[in-house]
C-alpha cells in the first residue's frame, strides 16, 4: 500500500525535479506544494481514464418506506462519494438487474429483482393521478440522480443495488488510493509526465511513459468489466 505522502516521496525521488520530499501533504509551498498537487492531479486523471473501473463500484442497501417513492443516495445509506446509480445492463443475451427488493417480514428468501424503466415511463405510470400503493416492481433513475420506485410502497421494504463512486480526492498524509496496491505506482508515472509538461525536462520521462503504459494495460485487463458475448456471462 502507498499513502498519499508516500507517493509524494516517491515522486520527489524518481523525478529529481522536486528537491526535498514534502514532509506533509498540507502546508507546503514552492516545489513541495507542486509535488503534492501533481500526485493528486495524477490520481484524478487515472480515475478519469475509464468510467467503469471496477474499483469505483459500490453497493447500497436501505429501506423503502410506506408512501415514499423518491430516494436520494444519502437516504439509502450512501454517505460519501456517490457518483451515479447503476441500472439494468445487458451481458450477452442476459439482462443483469442489480436492484432487488424484499419484505423484511418474509426474510431474504423473498428477495426479487426489480425491472428498470425510463424516467418518462415512471412519471406516466406512477407519478400521475391517483395511485394504488403496493409492492414495488419497477425503479427508474431520474435526471436529478434520485432513484424512484413504483408502485408506491405500501409498507417498509428492504432494497439494495449498485452505484458508481465519484472519483476519490486524496487529502491527508495516510490516505490511500482506492484501487489495488499493485497499481499505485502508476500515479507516480503519471505525475512525472505532468512535471515534464510543466517544466519541459525531467529525469526518467521515457521510463515513466513506458511504465505508465504497461501498468495501464494491466489495469485495463484486470480492473474493467468483462466484455460478455455468451448468455449468462
* pLDDT one-digit tens code per residue, 184-195: 999 999 999 999
Q: Which band of pLDDT confidence, cut at 50, 70 and 90, is reported for residue 205? A: confident
In the predicted model, is pLDDT for residue 230 greater than 90?
no
Q: Give how far Cα 165 sits from Cα of 53, 73, 187, 224, Å.
A: 10, 11, 19, 15
Chain segment 47-92, per-residue pLDDT in tens: 999 999 999 999 999 999 999 999 999 999 999 999 999 999 987 7
Phi, psi at residue 216, to the nearest 5°?
-65, -40
Chain segment 120-169, per-residue pLDDT in tens: 999 999 999 999 999 999 999 999 999 999 999 999 999 999 999 999 99
Residue 151: closest CA among 160, 161, 140: 140
Chain segment 3-17, per-residue pLDDT in tens: 999 999 999 999 988
Residues forming a β-bridge with 48: none
Whether residue 102 contacts residue 158, with contact meaning beta carbons closer than 8 Å, is answered with: yes
pLDDT on residue 92: 79
Q: Measure the CA–CA gap between 69 and 92, rounded to whole angstroms.
A: 31
Q: Which residues of 53-83 are buried (b: 16+ CB within 10 A; e: fewer)?
A: beebebebebebeeeebebebeebebeebbb
Amino acid at each position: 500500500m502507498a499513502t498519499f505522502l508516500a507517493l509524494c516521496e516517491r515522486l520527489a525521488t524518481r523525478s529529481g525535479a522536486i528537491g526535498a520530499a514534502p514532509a506533509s501533504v498540507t502546508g507546503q509551498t514552492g516545489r513541495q506544494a507542486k509535488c503534492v498537487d501533481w500526485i493528486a492531479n495524477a490520481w484524478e486523471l487515472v480515475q478519469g481514464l475509464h468510467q467503469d473501473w471496477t474499483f469505483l463500484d459500490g453497493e447500497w442497501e436501505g429501506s423503502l418506506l410506506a408512501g415514499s417513492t423518491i430516494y436520494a443516495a444519502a437516504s439509502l445509506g450512501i454517505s460519501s462519494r456517490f457518483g451515479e446509480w447503476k441500472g439494468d445492463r445487458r451481458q450477452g443475451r442476459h439482462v443483469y438487474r442489480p436492484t432487488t427488493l424484499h419484505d423484511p417480514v418474509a426474510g431474504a428468501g423473498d428477495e426479487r429483482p426489480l425491472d428498470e424503466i425510463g424516467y418518462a415511463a415512471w412519471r406516466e405510470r406512477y407519478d400521475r393521478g391517483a395511485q394504488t400503493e403496493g409492492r414495488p416492481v419497477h425503479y427508474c433513475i431520474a435526471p436529478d440522480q434520485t432513484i424512484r420506485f413504483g408502485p408506491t410502497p405500501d409498507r417498509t421494504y428492504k432494497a439494495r443495488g449498485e452505484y458508481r463512486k465519484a472519483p476519490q480526492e486524496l487529502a491527508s498524509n495516510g490516505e490511500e488510493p482506492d484501487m489495488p496496491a499493485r497499481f499505485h505506482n502508476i500515479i507516480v508515472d503519471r505525475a512525472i509526465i505532468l512535471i515534464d509538461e510543466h517544466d519541459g525536462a525531467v529525469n526518467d520521462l521515457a521510463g515513466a511513459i513506458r511504465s505508465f503504459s504497461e501498468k495501464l494495460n494491466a489495469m485495463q485487463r484486470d480492473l474493467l468489466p468483462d466484455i460478455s458475448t455468451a448468455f449468462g456471462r
